[in-house]
Amino acid sequence: MLIETRGNDSQKPLNVEFSHAILNPDASFGGLYAPEALPILGQEARMRLKDLSYAKLAKEIFALLGIELEEEILHEALSLYDHFDDPAHPAPLVPLKRDLSVLELYHGPTRAFKDMALQPFGRILSRLAQQRGERYLILAATSGDTGPATLESFANQKNIQVVCLYPQGGTSDVQRLQMTTQEAENLKVLGIHGDFDDAQAALKSLLKDDHFRASLTQKGISLSAANSVNFGRIAFQIIYHAYASLRSDSPIDVIVPSGNFGNALGAFYAKLMGFGIGKIMIASNANNILTELITTGIYDIRGKTLKKTQSPAMDILKSSNVERVLFALLGAQRTKTLMENLEKEGFYALNASELEKLQEHFVALFCEDSEGERIIREYAKAGYLMDPHTATGIKAYEDLESDSQTLKVLCSTAEWTKFAPTVAKALGKEGVRDLEALHYVKEALGVEIHPAINSLFAKKEIHTEVIQKEKIKEQILAWLGA
């Protein structure tokens, strides 16, 4: 069962099933849904799971979490991993050094880690909507990777319409084209003047907007979300961390490039369930709000402005899923107090014992763009090509390389092709856009460009609207005819 991170307002159920939360992710007091309790696995249970395929492991973990889905629906959702580069290993673990391996999470259709969760998530949500004879509007806000993965997952799915918000100028050309060239009639993409925090704030505001919901109800449409505010996303992000830990005979540390903290939350839940995970190392870019929180216990966005970096999926100041960690460690009442203070004052501070609880699980560092370029260049020369988000994780590995006996598993969150201009710059070619950069890197290193990326530049851009954030609600209702 799932319960609410800020407690219950007496208007919503005290606890809900997974199928309810996936369709209705808004919880009391603006909070989130999170597990009421997590199963704790002993050594014997872990050994039983050790040699399972990825899909079978996913089914076992869902059963352990008490997620009740019809066998046919879950099987259909997990079968989408058959369309990844290697169906047997949708998230391959690649050794780089004796104490460092890379968990490559980008081998799905949009070449980013969001496919690992959003491919099956989208199919489940659509099937549940069809079973209930209900229509849903799915909202998504993206800093670059959630949007393409959401649109790819829900394209032409019955009973589903999707609106995706992205910050104009805040994504790579490839990421933008993955959204704006989508042809399915059930999809709408809107660029906004602002940053990701503005897009995410607009999404959360719409989820709580009674007038907006009433307008949708008149059209027979219910409202849901595809961002990691939806626990359906998080459930699938637990699996690959468990999978990585089971590939090792001893506990691992996990390095996670982090923006909205959903990926790190999956590692945290896997650790609490008893999978062999030690420290969760949070790698940030120059928007190092998470480093400040985990180092000092202070979350302070007062006077801060979002910096545009070469790792834009991490250009975030309000990391939604930190709330679920606070809830797991501190309980609903304290979480409600902290989150309300953040919303009203732009600030909260943990006390010493609370910070100690947080640091029991997490450490955090950050990486400037110049260091990321150095890392991309050095590793490319050694034969391993990475994107700038993965490079922030390598920087964390370098800075924390004290215990060489423990295997560190770095989550690589995107293929290099999503951020070719940065990779090209690291290799010596500055000032080029995505298409030229892709071909420069291809020639310089003798690598191939994935067909899903290469074909984007010949497609027509269909979704070209860029609007003020105040116009989002109006534009959505106009598109729906509501």
> CATH code at 327?
3.40.50.1100
Tell me the one-letter amino acid at 373: E
CB 146 within 8 A of CB 111: no
Query: From CA 411, how far away is CA 390, in angstroms rounded?
Result: 7
Among residues 114, 38, 267, 185, the alpha carbon closest in space to that of 479 is found at 185
pLDDT given for residue 481 in this prediction: 86
- For residue 2, being part of any structural domain is answered with no
As a whole number of angstroms, the distance between CA 273 and CA 243 comes to 13
Q: Which pLDDT belongs to residue 287?
A: 93
Domain presence at residue 466 = no
User: Tell me: the pLDDT tens digits for 12-41?
Assistant: 999 999 999 998 998 999 999 999 999 999
**What b-and-e string marks burial along 368-391, b requiring 16 or more CB atoms within 10 Å of the CB?**
ebebbbbbbbebbeeeebbbbbbb
278 HSE (CA, 13 A, CB side): 11
Q: What band does 228 get if pLDDT is binned at 50, 70 and 90?
A: confident
- DSSP-assigned beta bridge partners for residue 224: 138
Residue 314 maps to a domain: yes
Q: Is there a contact between 212 and 477 (Cβ–Cβ < 8 Å)?
A: yes
Contact (Cβ atoms closer than 8 angstroms) between residue 262 and residue 230: no
**pLDDT band per the 50, 70, 90 thresholds, residue 370:** very high
Residue 346 lies in a domain: yes
Q: What is the CA radius of gyration of the chain?
A: 21
Report the distance separating Cα 149 and Cα 133, nearest Å.
25
Domain assignment of residue 317, given as a range:
84-112+232-456
**Beta bridge partners of residue 363, listed in sequence order:** 281
Task: Give me the mean pLDDT over the 247-255 stretch.
Answer: 94
253-295: pLDDT as tens digits: 999 999 889 999 999 999 999 999 999 999 999 999 999 999 9
pLDDT at 203: 85
For the cut 70, the answer to whether the pLDDT of residue 403 exceeds it is: no
pLDDT of residue 290: 95
pLDDT mean over 62-86: 94
Mean pLDDT over the full length of the chain:
94
* The pLDDT of residue 169: 87
Indicate the number of domains in the chain: 1
Highest mean pLDDT among 141-150, 166-175, 195-204, 344-353: 344-353
Residue 227 has pLDDT above 90, yes or no: no
Kindly indicate the confidence band of residue 197, based on its pLDDT and cuts at 50, 70 and 90. Answer: confident
First to last CA, the chain: 34
Torsion angle of the four alpha carbons 299, 301, 307, 308, in this order, in degrees rounded to the nearest 10? 80
Q: Tokens 């809830």 map to which residue?
A: 327
Alpha-carbon gap, residue 317 to 287, rounded angstroms? 7
What is the model's pLDDT at position 482?
62
Beta-carbon contacts of residue 343 (< 8 Å; ≥ 6 apart): 30
Average pLDDT, stretch 163-183? 93
Q: What is the 3-state secondary structure (H, E, C) of the chain?
A: CEEECCCCCCCCCCCECHHHHHHCCCCHHHCCEEECCCCCCCHHHHHHHCCCCHHHHHHHHHHHCCCCCCHHHHHHHHHHHHHCCCCCCCCCEEEEECCEEEEECCCCCCCECHHHHHHHHHHHHHHHHHHHCCEEEEEEECCCCHHHHHHHHHCCCCCEEEEEEEECCCCCHHHHHHHHCCCCCCEEEEEEECCHHHHHHHHHHHHCCHHHHHHHHHCCEEEEECCCCCHHHHHHHHHHHHHHHHCCCCCEEEEEECCCCHHHHHHHHHHHCCCCEEEEEEEECCCCHHHHHHHHCEEECCCCCCCCCCCHHHCCCCCCCHHHHHHHHHCHHHHHHHHHHHHHHCEEECCHHHHHHHHCCEEEEECCHHHHHHHHHHHHHCCCCCCHHHHHHHHHHHHCCCCCCCEEEEEECECHHHHHHHHHHHCCCCCCCHHHHHHHHHHHHCCCCCHHHHHHHHCCCCCCCEEEHHHHHHHHHHHHCC
Q: Tell me the residue length of the chain.
A: 482
Residues sharing a CB contact under 8 Å with residue 250, sequence separation 6 or more, in sequence order: 276, 406, 407
Residue 35: inside a domain: no
188 domain-assigned: no
Is residue 18 assigned to a domain? no
Is 351 a domain residue?
yes
pLDDT at 104: 98
Can you tell me the distance from the alpha carbon of 43 to that of 379, in angstroms, rounded to the nearest whole number?
A: 37
**Average pLDDT estimate for 136-154:** 91
d(CA 326, CA 311): 26
